[in-house]
Structure 1
Amino acid sequence: MGVRVTAMAKAAEPSLDDATLVARARDGDIRAYEELVRRYQGPMYRLALRMLASAGDAEDVVQDVFLTAWRRLPQLRQDAAFVGWLYRTTTNRCLNAIRARRPVADVDPDTTETPRGDARPEHAVEISAQLAALTEALRTLTPEQRACWLLREVHGRTYEEIAAAVDGSTTAVRGRIARARAQLAEVMRPWQ
């Protein structure tokens, strides 16, 4: 009975904030770090997948990012900066991978996110076509524009966070996002 009460009490414990988990992980608490990985593995993977257009490359980048984060956790000066640091590291690893290879690999349709089921198949087909067009349009952006646009529009990061992630100024980030939006709007005009 005592085990059950402990498990129930643990389940009722509110989830810890990121800064607390980072502090605990820095002190060697592997479960705290596992929780951070669970929270941010999905967003980092989606960012890497959209930047690299390759599920395998995205998995490799994300795995490397989290291994590096674990090793370098003691170097992180502010516990609350962990998420921004993850985005910056993931973005930089993706940009390095893009620069190392040209052209960008094809997206594997079996591994990309697909629209949820729809009662009207023609609507689902239209959405799939729009996503394919957007994926193709993203390829026309420079890697830096793609990174800035994805971090802002898909991941909701602030201009300051993006500037830190791409190691640039907020003015440069705003310019890249504006150019990316204009270019994407032009390419996606038939879908409006």
Structure 2
Amino acid sequence: MTEIDGTDAALVRAAADGSEHAFRALYRAYVRPVYWIAHGLVGDTADAEDVTQETFFAAWRKLRGFELAGDSLLPWLATICRLQAANRIRRQRRDRDRTAGQVDDTLPSTVDVEKQVIDGDLAERILREVEGLSPLDQDIFRLCAAEGYAYQAAADELGVAHGVVRNRLSRIRTRLRTTVEESS
């Protein structure tokens, strides 16, 4: 197996050419953010897990011929996720309407398009903010925020001290919180 450069663009190209290794790397990098987008849309853990899997399945099918526009695959995956969530909500509503008068008030009645646009815009601003970080800070953010590493595990992975990860991540979160608050 040839070594693949770890950028999203290189991983997308390799996955589009059939590399399961590259697709697994993309999956590991983005499964948590996609899950939380899905959960925010469908509001249920099991449905969010299903939508997440459906999102990655659809992405796998659509990769051939796909050209990554920016540095991150997340905006494209978020779009697929929103479509998958909308399909699931419509399917559930249709199934609910077919049942004999039983109403499930836990299902959202609509997908709030305005909220999705605002969430998408916010995600773009956060991604731009992360792209402006130093390479070390980007790695710390990716490991701790996106992949769920503990401080020490991230420090070991990056070859830095625990305190470096803790302090830098605190500054990164403050910077991102400012971005979020400015958008409100």
Q: TM-score, normalised by structure 1?
A: 0.49
Match of 2:124 in 1: 157
Point out the more displaced range, 92-101 or 52-61: 92-101
Are the equivalent residues in 1 in contact too, given 2:16–2:64 (CA < 8 A)? Answer: yes
Residue 68 and residue 31 in structure 1: after superposition, are their counterparts in 2 closer, same or farther (change >3 A)? Answer: same
Match of 1:86 among 52, 77, 82: 77
Deviations along 1:127-186, one digit per CA (max 9) or x if unpaired, are xxxxxxxxxxxx798521232233334xx225xxxxxxxxxxxxxxxxxxxxxxxxxx9x
Matched, 1:72 2:72: no
Are the equivalent residues in 2 in contact too, given 1:45–1:59 (CA < 8 A)? Answer: yes
Match of 2:6 in 1: 16
Are the equivalent residues in 2 in contact too, given 1:47–1:150 (CA < 8 A)? Answer: no
Match of 1:43 in 2: 33
Residue 79 and residue 21 in structure 1: after superposition, are their counterparts in 2 closer, same or farther (change >3 A)? Answer: farther
Are the equivalent residues in 2 in contact too, given 1:65–1:86 (CA < 8 A)? Answer: yes
CA distance in structure 2 between the aligned counterparts of 1:140 and 1:61, rounded to whole angstroms = 17
What pairs with 1:19-168 in structure 2 (closer than 5 Å)?
19-78=9-68, 80=70, 82-101=73-92, 105=106, 143-153=112-122, 156-157=123-124
Are the equivalent residues in 2 in contact too, given 1:24–1:32 (CA < 8 A)? Answer: yes
Are the equivalent residues in 1 in contact too, given 2:58–2:80 (CA < 8 A)? Answer: no
Residue 45 of structure 1, CA deviation: 0.4
SS in structure 2 of the partner of residue 75 of structure 1: coil
Are the equivalent residues in 2 in contact too, given 1:18–1:79 (CA < 8 A)? Answer: no
CA distance in structure 2 between the aligned counterparts of 1:26 and 1:18, rounded to whole angstroms = 12
Uncovered stretches (5+) of structure 2, i.e. residues with no partner:
94-103, 126-183
Are the equivalent residues in 2 in contact too, given 1:48–1:61 (CA < 8 A)? Answer: yes
Uncovered stretches (5+) of structure 1, i.e. residues with no partner:
1-12, 107-138, 159-184, 186-192
Deviations along 1:17-65, one digit per CA (max 9) or x if unpaired, are 1001111112222111101001111111000001110111111111011
Deviations along 1:97-120, one digit per CA (max 9) or x if unpaired, are 2334456627xxxxxxxxxxxxxx
Taking only aligned residues, the RMSD between alpha carbons, in angstroms, comes to 3.6
Are the equivalent residues in 1 in contact too, given 2:38–2:82 (CA < 8 A)? Answer: yes
Bigger Rg over Cα: 1
Are the equivalent residues in 2 in contact too, given 1:98–1:104 (CA < 8 A)? Answer: no
The number of aligned residues is: 116
Residue 93 of structure 1, CA deviation: 1.4
CA distance in structure 2 between the aligned counterparts of 1:16 and 1:104, rounded to whole angstroms = 44
